[in-house]
Amino acid sequence: MDRGRILILGETKENSFELRNLFDNHRFELEIALNKDIGKTVLSTRMMNLLVMHSETINDESTEFFSYLSGRGISLPLMVLGEDAETCSEKIDYEGPVACFEKPYPVADVLDHLADL
């Protein structure tokens, strides 16, 4: 995914910028949404190639967020990163491809996954 557009969705500034720092020195266009409503707006107005969510954003509201995406016909790869990324994958009701990476982030594996998209 050379020069792809990535939407980073975090619950806090800290975890959003933590994720941004993984991709910042690479050739991606990055958008940051600090909540799901902003994420919906970005995804409704801009074409994105990847949705990256921090594991802290996977909660009861995620089902409504994923339903919104499905209802709009938005199906893009999803990457979940964070302390509980693997256990969060059980809570994700999403139609697109999902990849999970836990901390400490295996940066080489994350970038290899992006290259395969």
**What's residue 88's pLDDT?**
81
pLDDT < 70 regions, the chain: 1-3
Cβ contacts of 58 within 8 Å, gap of 6 or more: 80, 88, 91, 92
pLDDT at 60: 81
pLDDT the model gives residue 1: 56
pLDDT at res. 99? 93
The pLDDT of residue 3: 67
In which element (H, E) is residue 102 found?
strand 98-102
Q: Would you state the pLDDT for residue 51?
A: 96
pLDDT at 116: 84
* Residue ranges of domains in the chain: 5-116
Class of domain 5-116: alpha beta
Q: What is the pLDDT of residue 61?
A: 80
CB contact burial 91-104 (16+ within 10 A = b; e otherwise): eeebeeebbbbbee
Task: Give the model's pLDDT for residue 42.
Answer: 95
What pLDDT, on a 0 to 100 scale, did the predictor assign at position 2?
55
pLDDT score of 95: 82
